Amino acid sequence: MPVLAAASAFGVLQRRRSRRVRVRGRDDGKRLRAAELGADLGERATLVQFSSAFCAPCRATRRVLGEVAGLVPGVTHVEIDAEAHLDLVRRLDILKTPTVLVLDADGSVVRRATGQPRKVDVIAALGEAV
């Protein structure tokens, strides 16, 4: 019975962690170009979302980032299929989806977050990029 209790506790902890948004600062000078993204960079900032096909939080993240890009002039949202761009995933150390990178106008990574972000957090993160 103790093994079952430990497994249940682990499951609860894992669910709690998987819903949490984790934010990091700059990524040691990592930079993305339009050719790597398959889309133009935004005039002021770019929200890059790494997604996978069966990721439910990715759909909600797509909606939030699209709304923010529509609200803030000069901001573009680009979604990248992580499975189709494994070289980029490895280079940027993307470990789970959704992962959102906030790029400044030059394509430098200003912020990184994993998990489903809230709209106010995305807008706040854009403050560093613009």
pLDDT-derived band at 30 (thresholds 50, 70, 90) equals confident
The distance of Cα 77 from the centroid of its chain, to the nearest Å, equals 11
Q: Is pLDDT above 60 for 54?
A: yes
| One-letter amino acid for residue 113 of the chain | A
Helix (H) or strand (E) holding 109: strand 109-114
Q: Is pLDDT above 50 for 75?
A: yes
